[in-house]
Chain A
Amino acid sequence: MKRAGFTTVWLPVALLLPQLSIIAIFFYWPAGWAVQSSFYLQDPFGFGSTFVGLDNYTDLGRNTEYLRIAWFTVIYTCLVTFFSLAIALLLAVKADKVIRGARTYRTLLMWVYAVAPPVAGFMGIMFFDQRTGPITDLFQTVGSDFKLGVNYTDTATAMVIAAVWKQIPVNFIFFLSGLQSIPKSVNEAAIIDNRSATGRFWQVTFPLLAPTTFFLLIINITYALFDTFGIIDTLLKGEPGNNPMTLVYKVFLDGFRGNDLGGSSAQSVILMVLVLILTVFQFRLIERRIHYT
């Protein structure tokens, strides 16, 4: 709040009202409803529901399929986060270094940000097509028979590649802006101390980028968990079968296709807790954001 704020009472209330009412109707009500129905067992034909306490949660804990999906989500998130961060960092370092064409490179590397995830998924279908896909051909030349939608690992690979491709631009933009905010004098001083460019990068530049990297880590985990839904749904062509999927996709499947309201709500609540932990972590990070300069 500003020190010299206005003291009118009705105006701020009126200003806050639209946002607060939207949040109440479309956020708190649904969220509360999810928590509540996670304790109930819904009749499959829609005739009422019975209170079952924590049964929905314990069922999930015993459900091997759910645990398998959870485990896959962890691996998937790690892979997507690692590769999209690593590739973006490499490109950002190079784009920061070159003098000629730096702006053109920046433009060409970042515009994929605007491509919608399901479009990326559809492109994946074309590229990983069993007969004609260029990437399938590529795999064939190394002797691997790539079968999207049939083979578990192959489908997972396609999902990771599409998700990484889509996420590189965001990471690139943040890394580049992080690199550009490092003062020139620091780099010059480092050049005097250490002649090896690689050594300079790991000892000086990378630690200076730590705040950006931590921030991006959270962003990427959230992206892999939630925003890749469009990619996964298109790549699986709406036929999950035995294919790999993430926890969010499972919530959607159980709730909409399987009509398991209680189980789906319990899964939602588990995800809510997960995001809560991530966000608290993120806020603490922003508060304590390390500034070297």
Chain B
Amino acid sequence: MTGISDTFTQSKKHVARRPIKWSVVGDHAVLVAGVLLMVLPVFMVFATSSHDRIEIARTGLQFGFSDQLGVNYGKAMFEKGGFTDTVDGSLMLMNSMILGFGFAIGKIIISMMAAYAIVYFRLRFATLAFWIIFTTLLLPLEVRILPSYEAIQSLGMANTYSGLIIPLIASATGTFFFRQFFRSVPEELVEAARIDGAGPVKFFIDILVPLSRTMIAAIFIIMFVFGWNQYLWPTMITTEESMFTLVRGIKQITQGVVDSNDIPEYGQALALSIIAIIPPVLIVLFFQNWFVKGLTESDK
């Protein structure tokens, strides 16, 4: 019996031993190099965030781990810092969460409503409304940053969550996305719904919203990451440290690293960067397929 199984595995081995295709090896080599290019920098930052600040100041980024991981992350999360000693990592994390979720949810609700109105109603000024909304695609916030800031100031909305979130919603990306999707929904659906006596509100809530679930998920991921990673706008609109988001806080950290006369808190700064990276990265990784779908289909 053993002989038979031996010859069997041997023959299997023999079949499996094909000549190595060097082009395939080359493909993998290129991909591995690419993966290293993308992953290694973040990994090194993570590994270094477990080191003592003196060691980091002396030798820079590390490949291996050390024993200061808990200390650095504890400091980053709970040690109050800044000029007023009011802000710590956990507060910034909460602010980032509020910005990320508030922006994504607000944007989805507002743009779905607008897209529904534009696509499903016979409205005399629908085309006008469409163009009014779509002109906003032309001007990213970065271009009109100063006047937007003045507007927020005069409305007394500086250093508030609504001041942080609402102006970011004022662009048409979401509306454009849902408009394209609604237009691809079969016409018969709305006809059938009307024959069955469903009004516009019922049709929207009971049919269209459930139908758009995947689209909503996809756009939620993109918008969450977009909101979380906002930098310029929070930098301008939040001057109180208790309103800082993590990404906004990075500037403060680097300033600390540059300016301090003492040995800078490298470990803590790197730990905070990792904390700022983790939530959006996890969302992108877990909902990869929706994310890719949302990203690549939004351009059509």
Contacts and interface: CB of A to CB of B under 8 A. Distances in A.
Interface of A: 1-9, 11-13, 15-16, 18-20, 22-23, 25-27, 29-31, 33-34, 37, 87, 90-91, 94-95, 97-98, 100-101, 105-119, 121-123, 125-127, 129, 131-134, 165, 168-170, 173-174, 177, 197, 215, 222, 226-227, 229-230, 233-234, 237-238, 248, 251-252, 255-256, 261, 264-265, 268, 271-272, 275-276, 279, 286
A117 B191 CA distance: 47
Contacts of A16: 113-114, 117-118, 129
Given A8-B199, A9-B123, A256-B146, 10 more contacts: A2-B119, A16-B113, A20-B129, A109-B35, A115-B229, A116-B231, A129-B60, A229-B142, A230-B231, A275-B138
Interface stretch (B39-47, B83-91, B210-218): B39-47
A173 B41 CA distance: 20
Contacts of A19: 110-111, 113-114, 133, 175
B151 A237 contact: no
A11 B203 CA distance: 13
Interface stretch (B1-9, B68-76, B282-290): B282-290
18 contacts: A4-B187, A5-B120, A19-B133, A19-B175, A22-B169, A25-B155, A26-B166, A30-B147, A31-B144, A87-B37, A110-B288, A115-B42, A116-B276, A119-B276, A177-B296, A233-B232, A248-B142, A252-B232
Interface centre among A100, A118, A170, A215 (most CB of B within 10 A): A118
Given A26-B170, A31-B139, A272-B144, A123 B273 contact: yes
Nearest to B152: A26
Contacts of A1: 118-123, 126
Give the size category of B's interface with A: 35 or more
B148 interface: yes
A4 B191 contact: yes
A33 B151 contact: yes
A122 B254 contact: yes
B143 interface: yes
A165 B37 contact: yes
B30 to A, nearest CB: 5
Given A16-B113, A125-B257, A26 B225 contact: no
Contact of B145 (A7, A12, A255): A255
B151 A25 contact: yes
B231 A22 contact: no
Given A1-B118, A12-B123, A177-B292, A268 B147 contact: yes
A255 B44 CA distance: 37
B120 A6 contact: yes
A114 B187 contact: no
B125 to A, nearest CB: 9
B145 A18 contact: no
Contact of B35 (A37, A90, A105): A105
Contacts of A11: 117, 121, 200-201
A238 B251 CA distance: 9
Contact of B167 (A26, A165, A265): A26
Contact of A119 (B143, B250, B299): B250
B231 A118 contact: yes
A116 B228 contact: yes
A201 to B, nearest CB: 13
A3 B129 CA distance: 18
A260 to B, nearest CB: 10
A2 B190 contact: yes
A123 B41 contact: yes
A123 B281 CA distance: 16
B122 A268 contact: no
A255 B140 CA distance: 17
B58 interface: yes
B69 to A, nearest CB: 17
A74 to B, nearest CB: 17
B24 interface: yes
Interface string B124-161: 00100100110011111011111110111001000000
B258 A237 contact: yes
A111 B284 contact: yes
A33 B147 contact: yes
